Structure 1
Amino acid sequence: MHGSHARVVLGLHRTRLTPQLLRAALTFGVTTVDTAPHYQHGTAHQQLIDAAGNLLDRFTVCTKIGYHHNTATGRNTHSLDPQRLWSSAEAAVRSLGQPPAVLWLHNPERSLAGLPVHHAAEQLAQAAVVLARAARRGWCRSWGIATWNPDQVLPAVAAIRDDWPRPGLVMTRSGLLTPSQALTAAEGLAARCGARLWGMSPFGGDTQDPVWREVDPCQFLAPGQESTRWQAALRLARAVPDGVERVAVGASTPAHLAELITAPRLSVNTRLVASYRRLLERRSAAETSTAASSAGARSGSVSGSVNSGARL
């Protein structure tokens, strides 16, 4: 039996879930799983129950609401409608047979996109009231915001008045391939909410991405350590952004999970990571400046055409 690996969360988004994998997770001390009812075409909760069997009570289960699965069409739609969120929170308890440890408001930016900031703030605050109420009802032990694009959520959070029920947790992308603006926003969102920060998608969503053949993440570790590139990438997902407590990561086999669980013990070269963050920030600033210049040039071209037409 291995020691507890609380810093590693078994993410079930793309994981091929089997009883063998869950038994291995317990053996390795990985006891937290992260899922969502709309994963696996709306069958994720039932798959977890079937695979875990009588071991389910030994896991800390985190799940999400915000996406609503339509079994007739097979599609997921996003909504922050308070009644739909409330019904989803109740359904999550019922389908799992137990209150989840964490109930995440999943990708609220999907419903906030395009809204004026004050309207987005109102919708997000209303959703927060629902999740806080669900926690008081005993439908979850805690609640948080899981967001792929925290830079699209932070402006709404910043516009909410001070008396809103804040999430205790924020989960966002983390790791070397996360864009600079998302890293900065993740840190800002966690600070604004007074929340603990979790990471996800430490490999950028695809371990087959050509970047992993070109860049060895082991170079960002402190010298004198042996590590595979996946162990290094997972460890760095707790350093980028700053302050990540846990990282949700998928694993296809017990052997793959066994490789990953040693990652938290690795030490990071903080100086090199800080330098990398500065490079990302400069690149992001340059891209923003180029985009603004291009937009200005297009605007000038249109304006010139309009003026020329007026003279004609």
Structure 2
Amino acid sequence: MRTADHRIALGLYRTGHTRQLLEGALEHGVTDLDTAFNYRHFASHRTLAAIADDLLPAFTISTKVGYFPDGHNLAPARLRAAVEQSAEELRRTPDTVLLHNPESSVDAFVDACAVLLEMREAGLCKTWGLSTWDPRPLLDADWEIPCPNVAMVRAGLTVSTGLLDAVDELVDRARIRELWGMSPFAGNADDSIWQTVDTSTFLVPGQQCSALEAGVAAAFALPEVTRLAVGTSHVEHLAEAVSGSRLEVNTETVTAYRALLRERATVSAGAPSRKDH
């Protein structure tokens, strides 16, 4: 699997917003930031501008809109206001604006996509797209939308075969041009499971790496993404993720793994329940 197009984004969900972390990111070649209108209690954009206004031009910034203090809402007027406020608080236009978990408000999905396309054409972002934790509710609905530039989805070894297949279907149905990944370790890279599972199985042999680095590499292939958002408040962990993005994944192993996942899911679906005994 090609690694030339792989890049790490510093994900700011539950990540400390510090100048030291942003400076460290740039030192290690991480020039993508991923945040959201609601991160840091709706203060992420203001905080970034306050602590690192001079650094932000060096980053490509993606943000998300859809959550408000009173909950999830994709009403056009609220989305427009959120995108405008995001640019104002960042003191620059974000490069990408994503609909945040549109599966939570499927009925408003089509109009919300139209709003983000409108925002792009108005110059309030360069590209637009979707950030979805689980696209299956979207796939159950009848819709036709403008072609999004990007979709951001869960990636890595914790993602189920049903979710991987749903992502493939979403990309095809919405004609999405680029796929990004997030949450490669399901939010906890320190979980002991990552020291138990031999993640290097997914790599082309002969590469020396840590379990975290191999896990990052595998996440770029499950599903196949070009950018992976990694949340950490430690520069050394971010540097390790960057090293992982440069490893070469064995595509045959990934294909076999996905086939095994499907087989296991099929067997589980056909297994008799306790009530059948």
Name the TM-score, length of structure 1 as normaliser.
Answer: 0.82
Q: Does 1:226 align with 2:211?
A: no
Alignment match of 2:120 (pick from 113, 130, 135): 135
User: For residues 139-150 of structure 1, what are the structure 2 equivalents within 5 Å?
Assistant: 139-150=124-135
SS in 1 for 2:97: strand
Identity across aligned pairs (percent)?
A: 40
Provide the residue aligned with 2:140 in structure 1. Answer: 155
User: 1:208 and 1:20 mapped to 2: Cα distance?
Assistant: 22
User: 2:82 and 2:114 mapped to 1: Cα distance?
Assistant: 14
Q: Does 1:110 align with 2:104?
A: yes
4+ runs of 1 displaced by more than 4 Å? none
Name the TM-score, length of structure 2 as normaliser.
Answer: 0.91
User: 1:22 and 1:101 mapped to 2: Cα distance?
Assistant: 17
Provide the residue aligned with 1:197 in structure 2. Answer: 179
Contact 2:37–2:82 (CA under 8 A) maintained in structure 1: no
Contact 2:6–2:226 (CA under 8 A) maintained in structure 1: no
- Provide, for residues 70-129 of structure 1, a one-character-per-residue CA deviation record: whole Å limited to 9, x for no partner: 5xxxxxx101111111211111111111111000001011123xxxxxxx3xx2111111
User: 1:208 and 1:260 mapped to 2: Cα distance?
Assistant: 13
Contact 1:10–1:32 (CA under 8 A) maintained in structure 2: yes
Provide the residue aligned with 2:244 in structure 1. Answer: 263
User: For residues 178-193 of structure 1, what are the structure 2 equivalents within 5 Å?
Assistant: 178-193=159-174
SS in 2 for 1:261: helix
Superposition deviation, residue 213 in structure 1: 3.2
SS in 2 for 1:202: coil
**Worse-matched range after superposition: 41-50 or 221-230:** 41-50
Contact 1:143–1:167 (CA under 8 A) maintained in structure 2: yes
Contact 1:198–1:247 (CA under 8 A) maintained in structure 2: yes
Superposition deviation, residue 208 in structure 1: 3.4
Provide the residue aligned with 1:241 in structure 2. Answer: 223
Provide the residue aligned with 2:74 in structure 1. Answer: 80
SS in 2 for 1:10: strand
User: 2:188 and 2:138 mapped to 1: Cα distance?
Assistant: 24
Contact 1:61–1:100 (CA under 8 A) maintained in structure 2: yes
Provide the residue aligned with 2:67 in structure 1. Answer: 67
User: 2:62 and 2:78 mapped to 1: Cα distance?
Assistant: 19
Q: Does 1:90 align with 2:84?
A: yes
User: 1:183 and 1:202 mapped to 2: Cα distance?
Assistant: 13
Superposition deviation, residue 294 in structure 1: 5.0
User: 1:150 and 1:252 mapped to 2: Cα distance?
Assistant: 28
Alignment match of 1:101 (pick from 95, 99, 119): 95
Alignment match of 2:193 (pick from 211, 225, 228): 211
- Provide, for residues 21-76 of structure 1, a one-character-per-residue CA deviation record: whole Å limited to 9, x for no partner: 11111122111100012111122112222232311111111100011125xxxxxx
Contact 1:18–1:51 (CA under 8 A) maintained in structure 2: yes
Q: Does 1:49 align with 2:49?
A: yes
Superposition deviation, residue 6 in structure 1: 6.1
SS in 2 for 1:170: strand
- Provide, for residues 206-250 of structure 1, a one-character-per-residue CA deviation record: whole Å limited to 9, x for no partner: 1233422321211211111101111111111111113x1111111
Superposition deviation, residue 287 in structure 1: 3.4
Are residues 251 and 5 of structure 1, via their aligned partners in 2, closer, same or farther at CA, if it must alter by over 3 Å?
farther
Q: Gaps spanning 5+ residues in structure 1: where?
A: 71-76, 113-119, 299-312
- Provide, for residues 154-207 of structure 1, a one-character-per-residue CA deviation record: whole Å limited to 9, x for no partner: 233xx224xx32211011001111111111111221122222110000112212
User: 1:92 and 1:177 mapped to 2: Cα distance?
Assistant: 32
Contact 2:12–2:33 (CA under 8 A) maintained in structure 1: yes
Partner amino acid, structure 1, of 2:24: A
Provide the residue aligned with 1:285 in structure 2. Answer: 266
Q: Gaps spanning 5+ residues in structure 2: where?
A: none
Are residues 29 and 6 of structure 1, via their aligned partners in 2, closer, same or farther at CA, if it must alter by over 3 Å?
farther
Greater RCO (Cα-Cα under 8 Å, separation 6 or more): 2
Partner amino acid, structure 1, of 2:231: G
